[in-house]
Chain A
Amino acid sequence: MNIDYGRRKLDAVHNYSFIGKRVLVLLFLLMPIPAFLISMTIGTFPITTGEIAGVIVSRIGMDMGHPSVYETVIFQVRLPRVLLAMMVGSALSASGAAFQGIFRNPLVDPYILGLSSGAAFGAALSLGVVSWIPVQLSAFIFSLLAVAVAYSMARTEGRTPVVSLVLSGVIVSAVFSSLLAIVQIAVDERALQSIVYWMMGSMNTASWSKLESSFPLALLGCLGILSLRWRLNVLALGDEEARSVGMDPERYKGIFVISAALASSSAVAVAGIIGLLGLIVPHILRMIFGPDHRTLIPLSITFGATFMVLVDDLARAALGFEVPVGIITTLIGAPFFAYLLRRTRAGGWE
């Protein structure tokens, strides 16, 4: 009798936690929808939620007689910015989760292979030296170049050991940081100011054209990670273990590095260097949902988008003037991350 009672209670608890977790996963997956709607109502232009709804209704055929500037603010200013912030958040978080899986290291972020240093150098080159090259293009090319160099450097005899990848990433980062320093020394104060501002990360010049140029590559990168996400679970066990189950770890490491680099380079090229996001979002999710990449990757995409767009809301509207979003990401993310770290053992890696 007592044993039956105990078993029934255990089943109930198990079912409850299973159902609770599924509900929570669903909640995190759907989170971008309310975040998007909230963000569309936030801004420094005086326009009420009712007027926003009216403008949207007008857009689908029923003219409500609003000034054309309302439509411009909603569809040309706010919407591209909100979507860009969501794209950047998704791309950086998914890349961060993928890199953490490949490297089996919780300290890894999307910039581990020198991507941010390469992007910063590319942007600095455009802002201070070769002004005819667009900043976005230059940052994108050099960020990918940095990853390509780090990956090639680490590859010996057809293998890319994780330790070699980390070390080559450190070296490439150092080289591009030095090149960046040379540019910073050589340029005038105005260009230096622009370089520093770019490096802080900001979305204040978001536009449809920026979104159009970066979205396809970010999407491609995220889809690559998303579609192969279960293989990250195997890669996270180590190369030998992956081979023992018939998987070619080199091939998948390459695919993940290319996908993550594409996604994060596209994000960095349009928004500058946004620190900590690609590190803390996957960590936060791992602390809550565990290390299974089948869940972790889609949640990184949705929660990354949610986190970034809400932080950008603060950056553009909290003080009434623009604050580089990279600063707020760090200021909000770091204490929240520290809190979660203290509440969970080893940040969810055990």
Chain B
Amino acid sequence: MKISRYMARIALCLLLAIPAQGAPVELEDDLGRTVIIDQPCQKVVFLVENALNTYYSIADPETVLAIGDNIWKRELKEDFFRAVDPKFDDKVRIGFEAGLVSLETLAAEGPDLVVLWATSPEDENLKAITETLGIPVYAVFITSIEDMYKQVREMGTISGRADRAAEVEAIMKSYVAEVTSATEGIPDEDRPKVYWMWSDVLGTAGRESGFDDLIYQAGGINVMNFWENDASRMEHPTVPLETLISLNPDVIYMWYNEKLDPEDVISGTEFTGWKDINAVKNGRVYEIENPFLFDAFSPRMPMALMHLARNIQPELFADMSIDERLDGFFGEMYSVHYPGYAAL
């Protein structure tokens, strides 16, 4: 009698532990499309890397079926991916030809879901996969910090691990709060004006971009907020140099740039026209040195925020050790150390 009761309890526990197979769930992707999946997905293909990073912090790496063969700066990232997914090197790579995904490779793998980057529902890859192969596609298009949190929740739904997703979101928010608790009280007029420099130098982050949010949370204010031109609302406007000089930013923040260093902007011969800008005069030109660790459109967004905050508000964050915070963050998110990515 006692044994049979134990057996019944064990059976119940096993039933609860096994995720419900085939339960259809509706998701809304970043383009507002409704995506219906059988939760939890067992075979997911990632053609966009930032969502793969998020997924690894939540889901079982075994459920990553294949990966797009388009990882930018892979030499900076592969050690990390191998650490969080021991079978990373064995995953099928989905190739692209002239920007178009290899449908045959994808069809041969038979995924439950494909996650890709798309800026419009008319994206050619998105349409080809849904219409030709009939495979559900989740489109990623991150334009704000809130979009990153949404991605965490959606990856939780896809993997059937909503609890872990909630934990990940809380971890991210706690690291963000370390910065915002110190910066949120700063009045706008006391915030340094920040010019975000994309690799095309005069291309910047507009008022409605994710970096506008990030700069504000880091204790600065995007200089585009002072530009009285509708172009300032664009995601990636190009500013005339004369306009930039009249806007006179206090800080210039460069995205990772292989051809340019902050020193070039401060004293390079091609930047003589920049010499009267406050940021240049005061040597306050900084660069995101590692586009993997400080990728703002990935779950490491809080680390990017800390990088920015340390330079935008040096007095407030003088004691902050980025390496220490990275180690703590990688530990909580992926159970690995930084640097080296050894398991905890």
Q: By the criterion CB–CB under 8 Å, are B245 and A45 in contact?
A: yes
- Flag whether B189 is at the interface (Cβ < 8 A): no
A205, closest chain B residue (CB)? B201
User: With the chains together, A185 CA to B100 CA distance in Å?
Assistant: 9
Q: By the criterion CB–CB under 8 Å, are B240 and A207 in contact?
A: no
A81, closest chain B residue (CB)? B241
Q: By the criterion CB–CB under 8 Å, are A320 and B231 in contact?
A: yes
User: With the chains together, A184 CA to B98 CA distance in Å?
Assistant: 7
- Flag whether B2 is at the interface (Cβ < 8 A): no
Contacts of B231 in A (CB 8 A): 319-321
A184, closest chain B residue (CB)? B98
**A197-B200, A319-B231 known; A207 and B242 CB under 8 Å?**
no
Q: By the criterion CB–CB under 8 Å, are A321 and B272 in contact?
A: no
Interface residues of B in 178-200 (CB under 8 A from A): 199-200
Q: By the criterion CB–CB under 8 Å, are B240 and A322 in contact?
A: yes
Q: By the criterion CB–CB under 8 Å, are A317 and B200 in contact?
A: no
Contacts of B275 in A (CB 8 A): 72, 76
- Flag whether B146 is at the interface (Cβ < 8 A): no
Contacts of B132 in A (CB 8 A): none
- Tell me the number of A-to-B contacts counted with CB atoms below 8 Å: 87
- Flag whether A106 is at the interface (Cβ < 8 A): no
- Flag whether A208 is at the interface (Cβ < 8 A): yes
B117, closest chain A residue (CB)? A189
Contacts of B271 in A (CB 8 A): 207
Q: Mark A34-60, 1 if CB is under 8 A from B, else 0.
A: 000000000111100000000000000
**A131-B258, A185-B96 known; A190 and B241 CB under 8 Å?**
no
Contacts of A46 in B (CB 8 A): 246
- Flag whether B171 is at the interface (Cβ < 8 A): no
User: With the chains together, A198 CA to B201 CA distance in Å?
Assistant: 12
Q: Mark A316-332, 1 if CB is under 8 A from B, else 0.
A: 11011110000000000
Q: By the criterion CB–CB under 8 Å, are A185 and B98 in contact?
A: yes
Contacts of B241 in A (CB 8 A): 77, 204
**A72-B273, A181-B98, A190-B72 known; A204 and B242 CB under 8 Å?**
no
Q: Mark B65-100, 1 if CB is under 8 A from A, else 0.
A: 000001010000000000000000000000011110
User: With the chains together, A77 CA to B243 CA distance in Å?
Assistant: 11
Please indicate which of the listed interface residues B99, B201, B229, B276 has the most CB atoms of chain A within 10 Å of its own CB.
B276
Q: How many positions in chain A have a CB within 8 Å of any CB in the partner chain? A: 36
Q: By the criterion CB–CB under 8 Å, are A44 and B199 in contact?
A: no
User: With the chains together, A15 CA to B238 CA distance in Å?
Assistant: 53
Q: By the criterion CB–CB under 8 Å, are B72 and A188 in contact?
A: yes
Contacts of B273 in A (CB 8 A): 72-73, 76-77, 80, 207
- Flag whether B270 is at the interface (Cβ < 8 A): yes
- Flag whether A210 is at the interface (Cβ < 8 A): yes
User: With the chains together, A77 CA to B272 CA distance in Å?
Assistant: 8
CB contact between A204 and one of B97, B238, B258 (< 8 Å): that residue: B238
Contacts of B4 in A (CB 8 A): none
- Flag whether A69 is at the interface (Cβ < 8 A): yes
Q: By the criterion CB–CB under 8 Å, are B245 and A208 in contact?
A: no
- Flag whether B5 is at the interface (Cβ < 8 A): no
**A45-B242, A194-B199 known; A321 and B276 CB under 8 Å?**
no
Interface residues of B in 244-277 (CB under 8 A from A): 245-246, 258-259, 269-273, 275-276
User: With the chains together, A204 CA to B202 CA distance in Å?
Assistant: 8
User: With the chains together, A135 CA to B258 CA distance in Å?
Assistant: 12
- Flag whether A209 is at the interface (Cβ < 8 A): yes
Contacts of B72 in A (CB 8 A): 188-190
B11 nearest CB across to chain A (Å)? 51
A201 nearest CB across to chain B (Å)? 13
Please indicate which of the listed interface residues A44, A193, A197, A317 has the most CB atoms of chain B within 10 Å of its own CB.
A44
- Flag whether B111 is at the interface (Cβ < 8 A): no
Q: By the criterion CB–CB under 8 Å, are A194 and B270 in contact?
A: no
Q: By the criterion CB–CB under 8 Å, are B243 and A45 in contact?
A: yes
Q: By the criterion CB–CB under 8 Å, are B243 and A44 in contact?
A: yes
A323, closest chain B residue (CB)? B238
Contacts of B97 in A (CB 8 A): 185
- Flag whether B283 is at the interface (Cβ < 8 A): no
- Flag whether B41 is at the interface (Cβ < 8 A): no
Contacts of A80 in B (CB 8 A): 273
- Flag whether A68 is at the interface (Cβ < 8 A): yes
Contacts of A209 in B (CB 8 A): 269-270, 272
**A78-B242, A188-B70 known; A210 and B200 CB under 8 Å?**
no
B71, closest chain A residue (CB)? A188
Contacts of B35 in A (CB 8 A): none
Contacts of A134 in B (CB 8 A): 259
Leading 8 A-B pairs by shortest Cβ distance? A45-B242, A321-B231, A76-B273, A77-B273, A209-B269, A322-B238, A69-B276, A131-B258
A-B contact pairs, 6 of them (CB 8 A): A43-B240, A73-B273, A77-B241, A204-B241, A321-B243, A322-B238
With A207-B273, A321-B239 already in contact, 17 other A-B pairs whose C-beta atoms are closer than 8 Å: A45-B243, A45-B245, A68-B276, A72-B273, A73-B273, A76-B275, A77-B241, A135-B259, A185-B96, A185-B98, A188-B70, A190-B199, A205-B201, A205-B270, A316-B240, A319-B231, A320-B243
